[in-house]
Amino acid sequence: MVELTRPQSVPGSMPPIPASAQLLAVAWLRWRIFVNGMFRKRPKGKRQIVGLVFATLLRLIVWPMLALVVVGPVAASGFFAWMAISQGHPQSLASLLLGIALLWQFVSINGLSIAATIPSFDPASLVRFPLRFGRYFVLRSLLGLMTPSTIVGCLAVLAAAAGIGVANASLALPALVVMAVYALMNIYLTRMIGAWMERWLANRRFREIFSMLMALFAVSIQFINLQRTPMRAPGARSSWLLAVLHSSGSYLYWLPSGFAAQAILLVKHPLAAVAQFAALLASTVLFAAVFAVRLHKQFLGEHLGEGVSGREKVQSAPRVNAPAPQSAALSRPAASGAIVSPTVAACLRKEWFILRGNGTQLIGLLTPLLFVVIFSMNRTFSSIASGYFLPGAIAYLLIAALSSLYNIFGADGRGVQVYLLAPIRMLDVVLAKNLMSLALIVTQVGLAWTIICVLARTPVPVSMQISTALWTVFVVAMNLAIGTMRSIQAPRHFVPGQGRQLRASPTNRTSALLVLAVLFGCMLLQIPVAIASGYFRMPWLAAWVFGPLAVAAIFAYALMLRNAERLILANRDVFAEELCKA
């Protein structure tokens, strides 16, 4: 064993730590976390091959989608900037830059951030090291630059500068300088919003209010869209939204996007251009300063958790003669006429308590229904192809609802040990969780069904209703079977109701791909059946197809349940590794 013989004390007057040493150390830390994440221990054998296949498929699907998300706004920015200058609509440059900023902030707020989802690194944890605030501020400004929102935003701004330069070469240099500052302004605006959101989202009640606001925002956007492109009747009044947009054009010049646009366009009037550029710089400094205020509080040691309420006086419970332990009775079906066994009932109660106390999750359940209401009220949507709106709306609801079936133990975390240690059958736990999911899905589908039948202008044919019901049973049973198996084989811990920026994804990547594949496979199955049904004029064909499929899916689910106990016991080590580790 080695003797630690080195002197333990640090000299009284210590030379300052070079900033470069600390900045490079953090850069090296991020690099090592990235590299180690790439070469992390993978499962061996058959699982490794399956995982590799799924990961490759996922990349083949997701990367082109991501590329479209990046290429779309970037190409559009460059094109519209070129058009604004070359076609003589310079005033629309401010609108374009505002659009880029809004997209940038929206993507960022929604937590589509690579840095935020990398586990085991929280930049705030750097405060425990001997950093001065200036360095901490620089580090927090630099960390997280490789987020999709920043990359897309910066590329879009760069493309806009290129578009301006191509349209008018004399504006190329000022456009480049102004756009660089505009990008910096957006980065600090994002950081400022993110830092304050982090502060507010630390409070559960605020998280719920925020989720509700986001849901309302998403819903109101749909109304705005309907207003912008009125489809109710020919000759209807022109949209109020377009009128508002037209009249608000002059106000855009008082926003940073307006300052940036004017700083470029007024290049022939140097004094005015410099004043606009100074205003853009001032707004950048303002956002950086507000961000710094928040960081400084964090640097000094801020508590971001829930406020601890005063201790309540402990009321001594009235003495009750406790009955003798009846562990053996727990797993037996209830003899007193109850529908489910005590274990299933207890697990159901627990799931209900968690759901009841989680406003964010409840809002998530209600939001798709609001969309169904909106689309049902719209003539174009609700009369799609003589009644195909009903299966379409149900499919839309199920996309959101069914993904939770693929990680039913994830929210339990370490609590899963209670199930494994208790004298109960794991089958009962699985059954309870599935029953709760099923109850929520049935409620959602039932409400959506009622809404569509009441609000839709075209009556939904009975044949369509029955075939949709059979298809729904088929899809739900099939996803229950595959999802439960996946929950057992690849559980992943997550905290329900937390903001997306604060938690990992509720399913792993392979499960995510599986959800997509199964859901879209089931949805796509409707299309050939519908075409054949129309071609052969057989309205009941879909029912004949989906009826047997529904029975088969229920049978598959029953088979899976029969093996659930054995599968869980065989996967105890996976549970311990994924759910019980710190």
Residues of this chain that interact with another protein (CB under 8 A) are 1-2, 4, 6-10, 14-15, 17-18, 21-22, 24-26, 28-29, 32-33, 36-37, 40-41, 118-121, 125, 127-132, 297, 300-303, 305, 307-311, 316, 319, 322, 324-325, 581-582
Rounded Cα distance between 465 and 471, Å, is: 10
Dihedral angle sign, alpha carbons of residues 76, 78, 82, 85: positive
The three-point CA angle 388-393-397 to 5° equals: 155
Rounded Cα distance between 378 and 534, Å, is: 25
User: Which run of H or E residues covers position 561?
Assistant: helix 541-570
Q: How far is the CB of 137 from another protein (least distance, A)?
A: 13
Q: How far is the CB of 313 from another protein (least distance, A)?
A: 10
Question: What are the DSSP calls for 88-120, one per residue?
Answer: T-TTHHHHHHHHHHHHHHHHHHTT--HHHHSTT
**Which two structure tokens, joined as six digits, stand for 238?**
């022109």
Residue closer to another protein by CB (options 21, 454) is: 21
Q: How far is the CB of 199 from another protein (least distance, A)?
A: 14
Contacts of residue 343, defined as CB under 8 A and 6 or more positions apart, other chains included, come to: 330, 331, 424, 425, 428, 429, 432
Integer CA distances (angstroms), 136 to 24, 130, 132, 145, 297, in order: 13, 10, 6, 15, 12
Residue closer to another protein by CB (options 138, 384) is: 138
Contacts of residue 347, defined as CB under 8 A and 6 or more positions apart, other chains included, come to: 428, 429, 432, 433
**Which two structure tokens, joined as six digits, stand for 272?**
């005015």
Q: How far is the CB of 231 from another protein (least distance, A)?
A: 51
Rounded Cα distance between 576 and 227, Å, is: 53
CB 391 within 8 A of CB 526: yes
Residue closer to another protein by CB (options 120, 247) is: 120
Rounded Cα distance between 397 and 248, Å, is: 37
Residue closer to another protein by CB (options 129, 352) is: 129
Q: How far is the CB of 320 from another protein (least distance, A)?
A: 10
Residue closer to another protein by CB (options 25, 142) is: 25
Rounded Cα distance between 454 and 15, Å, is: 77
Residue closer to another protein by CB (options 1, 335) is: 1
Q: How far is the CB of 240 from another protein (least distance, A)?
A: 45
Half-sphere exposure of 163 (CA within 13 A, CB side): 25
Contacts of residue 187, defined as CB under 8 A and 6 or more positions apart, other chains included, come to: 141, 145, 150, 153
Residue closer to another protein by CB (options 269, 297) is: 297
Q: How far is the CB of 247 from another protein (least distance, A)?
A: 46
Q: How far is the CB of 62 from another protein (least distance, A)?
A: 22
Q: How far is the CB of 541 from another protein (least distance, A)?
A: 54
Rounded Cα distance between 544 and 549, Å, is: 9
Residue closer to another protein by CB (options 3, 235) is: 3
Q: How far is the CB of 470 from another protein (least distance, A)?
A: 46
Residue closer to another protein by CB (options 324, 524) is: 324
Residue closer to another protein by CB (options 126, 480) is: 126
Rounded Cα distance between 331 and 28, Å, is: 54
Q: How far is the CB of 253 from another protein (least distance, A)?
A: 42
Q: How far is the CB of 133 from another protein (least distance, A)?
A: 8
Residue closer to another protein by CB (options 234, 323) is: 323
Spell out the alpha helix ranges (H) of 338-425: 342-356, 359-377, 379-382, 389-402, 416-421
CB 342 within 8 A of CB 423: no
Residue closer to another protein by CB (options 17, 212) is: 17
The DSSP secondary-structure symbol of 508 reads: -
CB 257 within 8 A of CB 101: yes
Rounded Cα distance between 43 and 50, Å, is: 10
